[in-house]
């Protein structure tokens, strides 16, 4: 499913990393129907392709890199809608601002959308798919697995209900379009301003490894608005779920955010192994989305955020199949079902997020008192 690139040239890092020294502009045409001028994509550029409807304009000014884009890829895609992905690609209206002088902090900060490709298509490696077990375990599904078909195309991408096309892994056609013959291909920018590259030789290895041991969980189910299916989660950690992986410092070349410093310049790498695309950033970035990753707690009762608190919103949204903002006895599973009457404080036959949160806070206080 992910394309592996052979040796197409030697590494010339100094050439690729002359970030702020614009080169002579060059014009490229796409089948004679459109063209775009660029230096080396670290300066200002326009990328317009009538074949695919791409319209991306990047302006470098006042210490900022501003991208205005319709987020349509400048390359071929799979046919959408398709099995596993019933959505149609449509133009978006996006404006992204990246700092020209990124500030490295060395402190990993989780982010759902770590960056944007040079053509305006976003990177979003995680998924919203969750397997829920009656015994209380929740498992976040990875995009690259053989259990649930998410309709990825040959670019390791698919389409959200909004029509937004986005990459979950190495964007095959994008890499080919921006290939200069070197090992490292510049393919985008992270939201903290650092560049994103792909190594065709797979020169730089991820430091994430499979967790040892076996998963736990019984009577597990995956559901979406279209269908429901039983899923067996037993067995070893084979990469189906995000929790199958753990970061082991020094086991590879890349850091926790799939980043590395080469010739004094920090960058992120998209890899053909987990995490595929960085799930965190090492530079200063102002997040507009929720804070804390949707980490999973095996053997616990629901997902937990970075500070260890249960992520009620994620669990609630997954179980609320009719999207009416409340949970009926038929919708809930596991501990929520077993303790439904106790959690339903107002006895209206439904659970609200507020009721669940109150019970969780009460349980936490009780647990803390028991440890004193």
Q: What confidence tier does 159 reach under pLDDT thresholds 50, 70, 90?
A: very high
Residue range 72-83: mean pLDDT, rounded:
97
- What per-residue confidence (pLDDT) applies to 111? 95
Share of the chain above pLDDT 70, in %: 76
Mean pLDDT of the chain, nearest integer: 82
**What gap in Å lies between CA 277 and CA 174, rounded to an integer?**
14
Indicate whether 96 pLDDT > 50: yes
- Concatenated DSSP letters of 90-159: ----EEEEEESS--EEEEEEE-SS-EEETTSPEE----S-EEEETTS-EEEBPSS-SSS-----TTSEEE
> What local confidence, expressed as pLDDT, does residue 361 receive?
66
Residue 158's nearest CA partner among 208, 217, 84 is: 84
Q: C-alpha angle with apex 370: 364 to 372, nearest 5 degrees?
A: 110
What pLDDT score does 337 carry?
A: 74
Least confident stretch, 117-121, 177-181, 273-277, 335-339: 335-339
Per-residue pLDDT, averaged over 235-258, amounts to 96
What angle is formed at CA 47 by the lines to CA 41 and CA 49, rounded to 5 degrees? 145
Average pLDDT over residues 210-229: 92
Q: What pLDDT does 133 receive? A: 95
Q: How far is CA 359 from CA 243, 339, 364, 368, in A?
A: 26, 10, 9, 14
341 compared with 38, residue with greater pLDDT: 341
The strand pair at 104-110 and 138-140 is best described as: unpaired
Across the chain, how many H-helices and E-strands are there? 6, 24
pLDDT digits (tens, 9 = 90+) for 286-337: 765 445 565 444 433 333 333 333 356 767 766 776 767 788 877 776 667 7
Cα 69 to its chain centre, rounded Å, is: 20
* pTM above threshold 0.75: no
Question: What is the average pLDDT across 337-344?
Answer: 79
Q: What is the pLDDT of residue 346?
A: 83
- Between helix 312-319 and helix 353-371 the angle, nearest 10°, is 140
Q: Is the pLDDT of residue 5 over 60?
A: no
What is the model's pLDDT at position 67?
A: 98
Residue 77 has pLDDT above 90, yes or no: yes
Q: Are 201 and 5 in contact (CB under 8 A)?
A: yes
Which residue would you say has higher pLDDT here, 228 or 303? 228
């Amino acid at each position: 499913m992910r394309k592996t690139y052979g040796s197409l040239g030697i590494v010339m890092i100094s050439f690729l990393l002359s970030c702020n020294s614009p080169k002579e502009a060059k014009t490229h045409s796409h089948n004679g129907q459109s063209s775009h001028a660029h230096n080396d994509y670290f300066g200002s550029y326009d990328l317009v392709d009538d074949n695919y409807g791409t319209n991306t304009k990047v302006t470098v000014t006042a210490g900022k890199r501003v991208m205005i884009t319709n987020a349509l890829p400048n390359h071929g895609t799979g046919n959408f809608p398709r099995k596993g992905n019933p959505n149609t690609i449509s133009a978006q209206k996006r404006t992204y601002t990246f700092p020209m002088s990124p500030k490295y902090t060395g402190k990993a900060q989780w982010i759902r959308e770590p960056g944007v490709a040079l053509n305006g298509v976003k990177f979003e490696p995680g998924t919203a798919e969750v397997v829920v077990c009656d015994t209380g375990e929740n498992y976040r599904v990875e995009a690259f697995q053989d259990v649930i078909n998410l309709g990825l195309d040959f670019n390791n991408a698919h389409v959200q209900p909004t029509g937004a096309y986005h990459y979950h892994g190495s964007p095959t056609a994008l890499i080919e379009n921006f290939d200069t013959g070197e090992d490292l291909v510049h393919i985008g920018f992270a939201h903290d301003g650092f560049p994103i590259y792909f190594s065709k030789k797979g020169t730089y290895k991820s430091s994430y490894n499979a967790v040892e041991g076996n998963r736990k969980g019984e009577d597990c189910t995956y559901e979406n608005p279209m269908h429901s299916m039983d899923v067996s989660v037993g067995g070893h950690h084979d990469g189906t779920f995000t929790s199958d992986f753990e970061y082991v410092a020094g086991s590879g070349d890349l850091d926790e955010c799939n980043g590395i410093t080469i010739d004094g310049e920090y960058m992120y790498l998209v890899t053909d192994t987990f995490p595929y695309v960085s799930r965190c950033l090492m530079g200063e970035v102002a997040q507009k989305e929720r804070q804390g990753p949707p980490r999973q707690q095996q053997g616990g009762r629901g997902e937990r955020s970075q500070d260890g608190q249960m992520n009620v919103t994620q669990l609630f949204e997954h179980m609320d199949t009719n999207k009416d903002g409340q949970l009926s006895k038929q919708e809930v599973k596991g501990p929520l079902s077993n303790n439904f009457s106790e959690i339903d404080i107002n006895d209206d036959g439904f659970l609200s997020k507020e009721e669940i949160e109150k019970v969780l806070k009460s349980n936490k206080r009780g647990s803390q008192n028991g440890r004193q």
